[in-house]
Structure 1
C-alpha cells in the first residue's frame, strides 16, 4: 500500500450475541461433553428456554408431559400410577432364573455352569468358595459370552449343587431353578 492511497473505512459487521453458560464457561452446544451437565441444563432451562428446547427436545417434552393426566370414559381424571423401586425389583426377581447347566468337555469330563444367582443377592465369590470346599473341586467366577457372571464348577455335581442352593440360600425359590444339559463349543 502506498502513501497516496486512502485507508479503507472500517467495516460494520453484524453484531452477534454469544451466550456462554456460567457453569462450564462454554457455549450451550458443548454442555453435554462437560462435567456439569445437570447444572448447565437447569440454568439454560431457566434463563433461555427456547435454546433449551432446541438443544434437548426430549427433556423439554418430558418437562411438559409431567403435568398431563389420563381421563377415562366418564371424564374423571386419573394420575398414571408410577411403579416404585420395590415393585420393579419384585418383578425382576419374579422373572429371574437360576440355571444349572452340565457342560460336557472331553471324554468323561464335565463342568457345571451356574448362572443367574446374582439376581437373588448372592455373593458369587462366596458361593464359588462354598462349592469348591463342599465338593472338593475347582470353582471360579467367570463371565460367559453374553457378559453375565457365572460360576464354573469342575466335576459332575449338578444335582448336589441344586440341593445345596436350596439349603443355603432361602431367597432362591425352587421353581426358579432350571437344570439343563449342554455341550461345550470349541
Structure 2
C-alpha cells in the first residue's frame, strides 16, 4: 500500500498493490498497522455503501457534534471525491482537495474528522463504500453548498449541467455561515 499526503496533509490518498493473474485480482484494502502509521489510530464503527447515477452529487456532508473520519473507496464506476477542511485552527481551513476514485485505480481516501465530504458521479453509475469513525446521528447532519464561491471547488460537471442533489444538500451552508470545528 502506498500512502500519499495531499495538499491538505491530513487527507491521505491510499493506493493498494493489486495482484492480478488468470483468476482475476486480489487487493488488500485495509491493514490497521499501516493505517495507524500514516493516518493515526482510529476505530471504525460503521460501514456504509451507496449506489448513485451519473450527475448525482452527494454532499458536502459532515456531523458537527459527532464528527466522523471516513475511509472512502469506489467499487464500481468513478467519482470525483472532495474533502473540505472545516477546522478553524488549521492552516488549511476553508481549502479543499479533490481526487478521482474509481474501480480501476482502486484508490482510497482518508478524510479525518473536521472535514466536510462529498462526491460527484462521473460514470453512468457508481458504488461508493466507506468506513466511519463515529455513528450516523440524525439531527447532527450539516452540508456545505456545492458551489459556494468561497470554496470555489472545480467540479467536473457532465455537460456543464448542475448536479442532481437532495433538497437538503441543495440548501447547504456557505463556508461563512457553516458550523465549524475548533
Coarse TM-score class (shorter-chain normalised): under 0.3
Normalising by the residue count of structure 2, what TM-score does the alignment of the two structures yield? Answer: 0.21
Larger radius of gyration: 1
Greater strand fraction, Structure 1 or Structure 2: 2
The structure in which a higher percent of residues are helix is 1
